[in-house]
């Protein structure tokens, strides 16, 4: 009995603390940078160097709808066996439709806040994000409970 417990404790203590598994869902270098940021500062620096990005580039894209520093903070110390699908959004155009698309993929509350601030009461159901209707885009890229209503 004691040997079984010893074996169990040895196995449990040998498992990595960071049980989160990241999946580069869009296969992009940007998502790889997001994943590196969540792992460590050293991994982030290495990924930036590997893919030719600099610190200023980090200001123009988000990881699962979050700024990279918030994404890293959220997942850096996470324990468990979760699988996190990572998408990076790069705002190549600084327009209100792009901001709304990223907000929709982030969360319903972020979408509502951005919609009210940039569109007021105007209808936004006809907006397309990367050629996909906004509702389908939001659900595909992280906000599974997204609704325009």
Could you read off the pLDDT of 52-91 as tens digits, one per residue? 988 887 777 778 777 888 888 887 755 555 666 676 666 6
For residue 84, give every residue at least 6 positions away whose Cβ sits within 8 Å of its Cβ, in sequence order, or none: 20, 21, 22, 23, 38, 64, 75
How far apart are the C-alpha atoms of 132 and 140, rounded to whole Å? 10
- Over residues 81-126, the pLDDT tens digits come to 566 667 666 666 668 898 888 888 878 888 998 899 999 999 999 9
User: 136: closest CA among 121, 118, 122, 148?
Assistant: 148
Angle at 19 between CA 110 and CA 146, to 5 degrees: 20
Q: How far is CA 51 from the centre of its chain?
A: 18
pTM assigned to the model: 0.55
């Amino acid at each position: 009995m004691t040997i079984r417990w010893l074996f169990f404790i040895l196995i449990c203590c040998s498992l990595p603390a960071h049980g989160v598994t990241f999946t580069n869902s869009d296969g992009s270098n940007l998502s790889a940078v997001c994943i590196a940021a969540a792992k460590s500062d050293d991994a982030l620096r290495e990924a930036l160097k590997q893919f030719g990005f600099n610190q200023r580039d980090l200001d123009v894209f988000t990881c699962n709808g979050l700024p990279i520093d918030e994404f890293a903070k959220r997942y850096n110390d996470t324990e468990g066996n979760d699988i996190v699908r990572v998408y990076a959004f790069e705002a190549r155009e600084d327009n209100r439709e792009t901001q709304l698309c990223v907000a929709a993929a982030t969360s319903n509350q972020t979408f509502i806040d951005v919609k009210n601030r940039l569109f007021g009461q105007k209808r936004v159901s006809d907006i397309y994000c990367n050629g996909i209707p906004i509702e389908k885009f939001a659900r595909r890229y992280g906000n599974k409970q997204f609704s325009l209503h």
